[in-house]
Structure 1
Amino acid sequence: MIIGRIRRPAGIRIQGGRDPMAGPMHISVADLAGGAAAVPLFGPDGEVHDPLLIVDLESAAPPTVERAARQARSSDRLLVGLAKGEAHPELVRALDLTVAGPVGGAGRGTVAVADPQERVGLLYEAAERNPQATLVLRDVLRTTEGMPVPAALDVESYAYSTLLGGAEFARWLGTRGPRTLPPEAADPVLLVRDAGHLRITLNRPERRNAYGRQLRDALADALRLAVLDEEIGQVVLDGTGPAFCSGGDLAEFGTTPDLTTAHLVRTRAGAGRLIHQLRHRMEVHVHGSCVGAGAELPAFAGRIVARPDASFRLPEISMGLIPGAGGTVSIPRRIGRWRTLYIALSGGPLDAHAALAWGLIDEMAP
């Protein structure tokens, strides 16, 4: 299918080429202000081209910065700022993420790293591998930023169901190959009640407390108990074994009978809404690997205490998906949409020290 030829606006200077092997395409603030990011997203082959652009954040006159910010807010592409010094706050807020050197990164829209050039290259590669998931995540984070939590969870789930039917997830499923469904567990979740205190413990250590169907249902039942019983003044959630929660059980991915059922299960049978309802009464204690749902669900709670060995990771983009247990809603409300995007697109772990500095957790304790 031919979409049409790509024509860049007259006078726009674009560094780099259309070949992904040439690396990320850089544009200046002036380029952005002049419409460089507004070039059509689809190439003549009908495929997404240049899903991510790097904006070199050199100094510019205020009118140029204002025009660039307007263009950034309306762009269809993911725009990552590359800051060598102080960047204009309005433009940083309008971009999807800004990467800076070790002395930068003070604001929520910025991530400070040792080698910014190397890091934006990795983000670019992730976007090129899965452009559909990347752009859907970017749109969901922007769309739900100011929405009520229940409505935002619906938007996340609609987007997730869309990607379940996409080519990128199908490719990941093919690479993963067939898996045997996990066996049933006698007690996937343990409950201990002491007067007004309820402790809920994820109890599938042999599967690193993966958020599979049986554990999810048992956790949701326990949370509903706390929602209905107002005499329960404090709820503590933790997990047994070496990891708090390793995310969705990979053996169950792609097994829901249809996409509509998958949406209703995620939003009406999942734990995210319930933890949000209980947030003023709820504390989560995490340790070890907190992957996918293991990072997304705790972020709904009013307080998170992490052991020093805790690390947080959102790997869904590499699977052609976005976080689907509420992470596009819960995590941005703690650390902002910019750093949420960074964790998801980089796919790498965030250690407990960084999580504390960013506000993803509230306390680090043995």
Structure 2
Amino acid sequence: MARPGHSTAWLPLLVLLFAAGAAAQSGCLSATFTGGRTFLKCNQLPVSVLTTILRNTAPTLDNTALSFDVPVPASAEYAGGAYTIYATVALPGNATSHNTVWQAGPISGGRVSQHSISGPNVQSLQRLDFLSGTSTGASNSRLHRRNLHGVLNGVGWGVLIPLGAMIARYLRVFEAADPAWFYLHIACQISGYALGVAGWGLGLKLGSESKGLTYTTHRSIGIAIFCLATLQVFALFLRPDKKNKYRVYWNAYHHSVGYSVIVLAAVNIFKGLNILKPATGWKTSYVVILATLAGVVLLLEAITWAVVLRRRKRNRAHAGANGTGVQL
């Protein structure tokens, strides 16, 4: 099945199965309900085939002409637990090989409902050669790009950016780590930003190719993350000197925007996992990563506070011994 305007590459044939004319079929036995009403119990029912062009995710059951010629109307039969479709089609562009997608969606209220967008439903592509009658599994480049989009954003926004923030908050407390902590912080943030932007751009490309299916919340959060992270990058060029009176306001802005990016990224990664629906291990792995980072944060928070309090106590004692009365 295909989107309108793509008949040169895909054969948009929607097959709907109905039980029709059961009374005229062989293999039916008469049976009676408890109240005396009779009905037919049949082992085999005829299969009706409808063809239509998909224009949305919930097409009607109207039998409409396709965008290419079908000289002989399609028919189908059910035998041995499988449906077989018979059809004669005029191949567009004089090509003998075409991509096909096989899907199955439930019928509700006289309409075909949207099929699943995970698991086998996103792995049902085939390259069918009508001349030889052979078919091969087609490479699902879109699925690969979706996976790459998830990995880039997961590592960039979800791991490197939080790690860089942890380095800035906790390593700077230790005098021996200065200025190494700053360069480690910058390295993590730049790497995370680069991977995140690459994943974000790939996500926009995937969204532009998706007709009729838009993940609005996931997309909006992704754009917000990109804007805030980009603002952080440019704000570095406006960072006041440490002795500048506006430095405290810049620090407050820098911290609040940075933590906002981390929280939004975690939320959006889970939304992306719910959309992509990978194997359970992927979501479990990310939960383990978050839990590990949270545990390290709690440990480092306790250690840094202990270091800071001990340093303050030592400075007070040193100031008192010198008779300066200066408290640091």
* TM-score, normalisation: structure 1: 0.19
Higher helix share: 2
Larger Rg over CA atoms = 2
Greater RCO, CA 8 A, separation 6+: 1
